[in-house]
Amino acid sequence: MQERTSYMGRILAIDYGKKRTGLAVTDPLQLIPGGLTTVPSHEALKYVLDYCEKEQVERVIVGYPTQMNNEPSASMQYIEPFYRALSQQLSIPIDYVDERFTSVLAHRAMLDGGLKKKARQNKGLVDELSAVILLQSYMQSKK
């Protein structure tokens, strides 16, 4: 069992998708966001609950997809049940964060980073990177 310290816990970001869910997390001091993994969405709830049991997580953020007119996107129909289930089983704050351009930014970051086409087609990597970008934007909004 990991020793729990009294300072900060990690922030866990979730980019929940219909098939895959990208996860990103900060270091314990909440200075550096990094990719955690991508899991099949039907396993995401169990993965997150297990992770929060092993690591000190202070807050969870879930991507909230909106359309250009600020209306929730159609994908909220499967994100909302996940969010509710998570809220019922975790006793830490869980917030929605606008994720409007995370996938576009993830693709751009992969291009700018010089990743080969085959790597850029790895949808799991895109989802994980989207979660990192979601986490980065959340952290910047809190500064």
CA-wise closest residue to 61 among 100, 105, 99, 103: 99
Query: What mean pLDDT, rounded, does the chain reach?
Result: 85
Confirm whether 1 is domain-assigned: no
Q: Average pLDDT in the 28-46 region?
A: 95
Question: What is the CATH number for 70?
Answer: 3.30.420.140
Answer yes or no: are the C-beta atoms of 34 and 27 closer than 8 Å.
yes
The reply to whether 67 falls in a domain is: yes
Radius of gyration of the chain (CA): 15
Check if the beta carbon of residue 134 is closer than 8 Å to that of residue 63. Answer: yes
What pLDDT is attached to residue 110?
63
Flag whether 101 is in a domain: yes
Q: Could you list the residue range(s) of the whole structural domain that residue 32 is in? A: 10-141
Q: Is there a domain that residue 66 lies in?
A: yes
Please report the pLDDT score of residue 105 as a whole number.
Answer: 66
Percent with pLDDT over 90 in the chain: 53
Average pLDDT over every residue of 125-137:
85
26 lies in some domain: yes
**2 falls within a domain:** no
Structural domains in the chain (count):
1
Which of residues 54 and 100 earns the better pLDDT score? 54
pLDDT score, position 4: 47
Q: Is the pLDDT of residue 92 over 90?
A: yes
- Residue type present at position 5: T
* Residue 56 neighbours by CB under 8 Å, 6+ apart: 2, 4, 5, 9, 10, 28
Q: Give the mean pLDDT of 125-129.
A: 81
